[in-house]
Structures are given as C-alpha cells and as structure tokens.
Amino acid sequence: QQSTGVVSRKTLTSAGANSRSSPRTADSPRVAASTAASEDEHDSNTHNSTQQPLVSSSSSVARSAVATSDVIISGSGDCGDRNGNKSKHCERPAIVFLRTRIAVLCLLLVSAVVGLITAQSYFNGQPDIPGCAMSYSRPRFVEQTKFDNSWTRFSTKYKLYLYREGGYDAHDEAFRIPILFVPGNAGSHKQVRSIASASATAFMELANNSPDVFDRGQIGYDYFTVGLNEELTALHGYSILEQADFINDAIRYILSLYPETRAKYRLPSQGTRFALPTSVVVVGHSMGGVVARTAFTLPNHIVGSVQAIFTLSTPHNNPTASLEYYVDKVYSSVNSFWRHGFHNGTLDDVSLVSIAGGNLDSMINSDYTYIGDLAPPKNSLSILSSGVDDVWLSLDHQSILWCAQMAKKFSSMLIQIMDARQPSQLLPLDERMSIMRRQLYSDWERGANAAPESLATNRTTNDDYSYVYVHRDGAARLVPEDMQKLLSGDKTNNAGLGVALHLLPVNRATSNSTAQLVYDPRLFATALASGSIAVYQPVLLGCNRIKVASNSAKPETSVTCQTIPAPLPTKLPMRRADDDPELPLYALHYMEVPVSVLEQFEFLGMQLPAKPG
C-alpha cells in the first residue's frame, strides 16, 4: 500500500517538474498551484494509506490525469501528453477550419459561375431579339370628377380618366365609341397612351381615305382609363374583387354620359342614326384582364354592358404567384363562371381575345394566357405576338403596350370591328371574330375568297379528284412547290379537275380525345391570273372505302366522303433548319378534331385546290 502511494507521488512529481521546467508553462499560476495542491493532498493520503489504500490509489490517478490535462491545455504550442506522444485531436480544429474555408470558397466560386452563365443567357442568349419601334403620343388625361361616391364606394381610392390626344381631340367630353383600359399589377392609368394614340392615328387615316366611314358606323373611340392606386393585384385576392367592383361602377357611369354628348356633338353622316351605347369595349393588361373577367361575376355587373374583352399578357388560367389563398379562390370561381357561361347563354355575345408576349415576357408564362379551355372558338382567340401578322415579334411584359408595331396592329383591328349604328357599338359576334382573325393571322388567311366550285361537299369516286393519295403512316409530307405541279395536272389521274384528296388513316383505338392535324397553309394558296393570291380554308372530310363494280374481273376500290365540322386553325410558329434567321418565323397551322367525330370513318380527308390555268 505504501509503495503504491510512493509510485503515485513520483509520477505526480515528475509531471509537476515537467510542467515547471517547460518554458511555455513555467509562468502559469494554474499549473503551479495545481501541482502544489496535488503534493499536499498526496502527503495527507499517504499518511492515511493504511486505512484507505484504494481511495489513495484512485485519487492519485485522478490527480495525475488532472495535472496532465492542465499541462495539455496550457501548452498551446505543444500537443504532447505526459509521455511526449503527439495527440491527433490537437490537429483536428485546424484541419476542419481549413476544409470549411475551402468548401465555402468553392461554393462561392460555383455560384458566381452559374450566375454569370444565367445573366449571359438572359441578356445575350434570348431566342427572340427585341425589335420594337418606339411609339409616341401627346397625352392628356381628364379626371372624371363627377364620378364620386354617389356612383362608387371606391371613389376616394381609385380614379377614372378620359384620355385626350393632342391635335385630335378638341373636346373634353366623350361622344365616340367607349373603350375602358384596365392596367395590371402595379400598373398606371397612363399606360393606355400608346394604344389610344395609335387608334386616333388609325381612324384619321381611315377617315381621310374613306369618305363614307361615318355611314358605316365607324366614328372612332374614346379611351377611358382607371387609376387603381398601383395595387399588387397579383398578390392580393381582395384587390381583384375591389377593382372589379369599381370597373362595373365605372362602366355604368360611362354609359350614362352618352345620351347628352351624342346629342351635343353631331357627327357628319348622311342620315345615319347612331345608337346610344349599351356596352363598353374593355382592354386589360396583365392582371387587368383578370379584373375585367372578374367583373362579370359580381352583383353590380350590368348584363350586356361588356361584349368584347381584349387582354394583353394576361395570366388567365393560373395566378403567376400563388402566395395567398384568396387569389387562388378568385381564379377558381371566375374561371368556373366563364366555362359555364357559354353553355347557359350568359356569355353568348361576348368575344374574348388573348394576346401573349411570348419568350421575352419573363413575368407571364405564355401558357397561362391560353383561353381555349375558358371560351369556345366562336367566341375566343388566343395568339402570341410573334404570330401576329405585321408584328412577328416577341414582346416583354411592358413593351406589349408601347411597341409601335403592336399598337398599330391592335388599333387597326379595333377600327375594323366598330359599328356605332348598333347598341353594342360593335359588329355582330361572327363578323367581328372573322375580322379579328384576318387582322391577327398571317397573309395566307387575309382576304380569303370563297371556296371554288370544285371543292364540293361530297365525293363518291376517285374520278372526282385529280389525285387521291392514302398516307399510310398518318403523316402527309407535302412540299408546296411539288403540290402546285401535282394539282395543275402533272402526274394526276384526271388533269382537268384540279382538286386533290389526301387521306389520313383514323386510329380508332386511340385513347386521346382529339386528333391533331398540322398542315402548311401554303398548300391552300393559288396564284390567280391577276397576279394576286387566293387563299382557301381547308375542307375536312370523313371518308370510307367502298367497292365499285368495273369491267374487269376485280372490283375497284373507291372512297365516299362527307364533310365534317372544321375547327378554326391556330398558328404554330416554328423555325426550320434551312430557314433564313433574318426572316420572320414561319407558321404552320394546327387543328384539333374530336375523335368522336371520326369514329365512323376510316380516313380523315383534306381537299386541296389546284392552281388555275
């Protein structure tokens, strides 16, 4: 027992001596005090070692550990233990620190590289190059001070203005056809100036070239615009409802102005009577288009007060940022109303046009602007600005309002559909939809003539066509130049008729609800003797094979066809590998035919006209 105590003391004394002899710990009062205390306590334990040997031994080991640990802690430059061995744990903090520093630097480097690549792609790698010309105007805004709290509960929050173009509008009262502009998320009432100025210019040009313009009911537009306090309607559902409520009140006030002003400002016409307006044309930008459609669902909406809505870069299908529950709820309720409104007769006379900016619009996904699932084709039209004839440009979210090419084309379309002789101040639905398609679509649809006599609605035998071809794989790969030779009589069964029938097999086992048909519109264009181009709408046929008796022993196979409803085509802009990048994007045409219509037929047929003479 005593020897145990002596060994412990030697060990402790040695550790203490080492600590005192170390130049890095000699001045450490903590080590000196710890060593002295350990010796005193050891002497006491040695004196009582006979009675408590186990306690003395364990205490000595513990004290040795404490002393040794004190030496390691105080000796910051020497990571050795009491036997002089290096401790690997002393190197770990430095290594971890170094590795962490390297990892952070690598992460920052990768982030910087990704950021530079993204910026390069965004600013210099866009597939569509901005090509808008700047538009100019001489705007003046007349606040409608009489539109106060007797008309709307939001008179102190929102404002209504009448746009006046310098050099064109001599009066501060509205007496022409009313149009209401609704700005979008954080938008301003002043954003109407480019379109309003272009409309004034377009009408003056029309009036100078057509003396009978007033007799046709074309008297120009008066643009009203609303200041909506630049609210963030994309993020707040209640703001959409409040603005829509204000829009309905503004329309009611605008219509109340015309009994007095139409009598006060008489327009030059030869006995033409202009009807008092019962509806207002609405143009909405971005979320303004959603607000315009929401107005139809509110109790203060006057049925028939809006029969034409034009939206520019409006997210109709989904909100751009679903940050609030009530925004999604408003969207769901409004879209449900519009889907059912065309079936229950509520929206029968309403036309809805959606124009999207395309690739350069980084705020609104162009897919969100599609309205084909909200309104039937006879009431609606969806198109990208890059597919609009005479524009052919992708437009960002703001330039779709001020781009000179777009403003000019949009105003020209509006001028063509006005008719102040009607209470709606517009042409009937079918007529104005036809004009809008001709105005917005390419030259191949513009000025289309009636289908020629040879394109009859029913055919019974192959002899009725110059050429009949069955496309086995369901895809007709036709080159326009070759087709013109084919249809004019070369390589045909009967050169005198000049009508070709192409048959695409119907897949009756498909699970799809529609059959997609993509075709080149130039196949339906023929050059006339006058040098102009006649463009025909495609005729779709449902065809079945029949057996026809013949003089030979083997009966001949022919087809019998009947016309099927042809949906209006939409444009499918594309750039092929051999196209000149300096030229506008070429557009194919696209149709969707319900499979239920084709189930009773073996083939989907298309008739193509021949080149006369």
Give CA separation, 249 vs 8, 179, 244, 334, 346, in Å. 99, 14, 9, 19, 20
Q: Taking residues 325-352, report their average pLDDT.
A: 90
More confident residue, 253 or 555: 253
pLDDT value of position 450: 33
Q: Is the predicted pLDDT of residue 300 greater than 60, yes or no? A: yes
Band (pLDDT 50/70/90 cuts) for residue 596 is confident
- Angstrom CA distances, 274 to 75, 164, 177, stand at 103, 22, 10
Measure the CA–CA gap between 540 and 567, rounded to whole angstroms.
Answer: 9
Q: Which of 8, 19, 34, 286 is catalytic?
A: 286
Identify the CA nearest to 410 among candidates 476, 357, 457, 450: 357
What phi, psi does 468 have (nearest 5°)?
-125, 125
Residue 465 phi/psi, 5-degree rounding, is: -120, 150
Mean pLDDT for 144-169 is 94
When computed from its CA atoms, the radius of gyration of the chain, rounded to whole angstroms, is 41
Q: Residue 491: which residues within 8 A CB-CB, separation 6 or more? A: 467, 485
Which of 27-36, 63-72, 210-219, 481-490 is most confident? 210-219
The pLDDT, as a whole number, for residue 212 is: 82
pLDDT tier for residue 467 given thresholds of 50, 70 and 90: low
* Residue 286: active-site member: yes
pLDDT higher for 122 or 392? Answer: 392
Q: Is the predicted pLDDT of residue 392 greater than 90, yes or no?
A: no
More confident site: 476 or 210: 210
pLDDT for the residue numbered 321: 81
When pLDDT is cut at 50, 70 and 90, the band that residue 156 belongs to is very high
Is residue 187 over pLDDT 80? Answer: yes
Of 503, 500, 430, 413, give the one whose Cα is nearest residue 202. 413
Whether 402 shows a pLDDT value over 80: the answer reads yes
Q: Which pLDDT score, from 0 to 100, does residue 309 have?
A: 97
* pLDDT attached to residue 2: 40
Q: Which is it for the CA torsion 460, 463, 467, 472, positive or negative?
A: positive
- Mean pLDDT estimate for the chain: 75
Tokens 């501060």 — which residue?
Answer: 172
171's torsion region: left (phi>0), alpha (psi -120 to 50) or beta?
A: beta
How many CA within 13 A on the CB side of residue 253?
Answer: 24
* Residue recorded with tokens 């802009």: 573
The predicted pLDDT at position 478 comes to: 41
Q: What is the pLDDT of residues 276-295, one digit of tens each?
A: 999 999 999 999 999 999 99
Residue 213 confidence (pLDDT) = 86
Closest to 164 in 3D by CA, of 226, 224, 247, 253:
224
Q: Are 214 and 271 in contact (CB under 8 A)?
A: no
Higher pLDDT, 208 or 162: 162
pLDDT of residue 138: 93
CA distance 602 to 226: 56
Strand 351-356 with 380-384, pairing: parallel
Q: What is the CA angle 408-413-415, rounded to 5? A: 95
Q: How far apart are CA 11 and CA 131, in angstroms?
A: 89
Question: Residue 573 CB: number of other CB atoms within 10 A?
Answer: 17
Mean pLDDT of 589-613: 70
Please report the pLDDT score of residue 588 as a whole number: 73
CA distance 181 to 195: 10
Q: What is the mean pLDDT of residues 248-256?
A: 96
**What does residue 608 show for φ and ψ, rounded to 5 degrees?**
-120, 130
Q: Is the pLDDT of residue 199 over 70?
A: yes
Q: How confident is the model over 14-70, as pLDDT tens digits?
A: 444 444 444 444 444 444 444 444 455 445 444 444 444 444 444 444 444 444 444
Which among 184, 180, 158, 191 is positioned nearest to 319, based on CA atoms? 184
Give the least confident one: 177-191, 279-293, 442-456, 565-579.
442-456
| CB count in 10 Å sphere of residue 71 | 24
- 91 φ, ψ (degrees, to nearest 5): -85, -15
Q: Can you tell me the mean pLDDT for 565-591? A: 65
pLDDT at 238: 93
At 239 the three-state DSSP class reads helix
Q: Are 339 and 374 in contact (CB under 8 A)?
A: yes
Task: Report pLDDT for 584.
Answer: 58
Q: 390, 426, 430, 395: which is closest to 410 by C-alpha?
A: 390
- How confident is the model over 449-476, as a mean pLDDT? 46
Residues 432-458 have pLDDT tens digits of: 998 998 888 865 444 433 333 333 334
> Phi/psi class of residue 451: alpha, beta or left (left: φ > 0; alpha: ψ in -120 to 50)?
beta
Whole-prediction pTM: 0.58
